[in-house]
Structure 1
């Protein structure tokens, strides 16, 4: 029986969710890098430190999501369990990096920058969490893709 062109398998959905997360994480990473390099930005030393740490954390999150997508793209029956473990670990690590970035802004003054960064990071965290959920669903389906 031919698959309907618009039907989505658990693998398709997991890959799509990771692609969304990766795209948003890249955008936030670029934004944070631009803000942290802005010479005319009037922020405290503590804010600059939190921002610098956040740039690094989100960059790591992007790398973890790249690895996740690569693993999901190359799933094989004989190594499925191992690959799913890798994908779940990397997506979870990406989420942890995003949370760590947010943690760095605890107790930092400067409402505008802090709220802007938090909003963007929380958005990435939501889509990354959704991606991890879809990966877990794929794992539960045992790769029926």
Structure 2
């Protein structure tokens, strides 16, 4: 009859659990330390902590995840603004501001998407090639951030006070903060090489 080591099983499972917890804590700590370099560290930690197991302690994966998150938020914002164009009873100035914002957010989505693809495609490159790709990413993310902030320009002034302006401003602010954080993390990655 074969002898089993069942009494060892709980010990092994406990050790694996503790090792997993330690790795998770190290990944979360890495995110917290990295987010200190961003303009919105609390937003950075809150938005990226859920991805700690994928990020681990990789600056490249952190930047990639931050860009992907920025892209997802910008795409959500674009869908929201697109729905606003269909509202009944919009004033001409409101409609124009919403359409302009939709164009700007659309450009932002495109630029962030380019950045995500560029960072994925560049692999483990180093040297001049790496710096050229990183420069592209930094330029596109910076332009996306400008697009997001430009969206709000059409809502300036008292003529557009109200729920639409308040709602657009809150969402754009969130997207811009996440994008700003992604840019800081991309810059941090570029500085390592």
TM-score, normalised by the number of residues in structure 1: 0.89
CA drift at 1:110: 3.6
Q: Are 1:45 and 2:89 matched, yes or no?
A: no
CA offsets, 1:60-112, max 9 Å, x none? 00000000001111222251010000000000000000010011210142411
CA drift at 1:37: 2.4
Q: Are 1:116 and 2:163 matched, yes or no?
A: no
Give the aligned CA root-mean-square deviation in angstroms.
1.5
Give the alignment partner of residue 111 of structure 2, picking from 64, 81, 90. Answer: 64
List gaps (5 residues or longer) in structure 1: none
Indicate the SS of the match to 2:155: coil
* Residue in structure 1 matched with residue 79 of structure 2 by the alignment: 30
TM-score, normalised by the number of residues in structure 2: 0.68
Q: Trace 1:1-145 onto structure 2 (pairs within 5 A).
A: 6=53, 7-38=56-87, 40=88, 42-75=89-122, 76-77=125-126, 79-107=129-157, 108-142=159-193
Q: Determine the C-alpha separation between the residues in 2 that align with 1:20 and 1:110.
A: 30
| Larger RCO (CA within 8 A; separation ≥ 6) | 1
Indicate the SS of the match to 2:160: coil
Indicate the SS of the match to 1:104: helix
Q: How many residue pairs get matched?
A: 137
List gaps (5 residues or longer) in structure 2: 1-22, 25-52
Q: Determine the C-alpha separation between the residues in 1 that align with 2:64 and 2:71.
A: 10
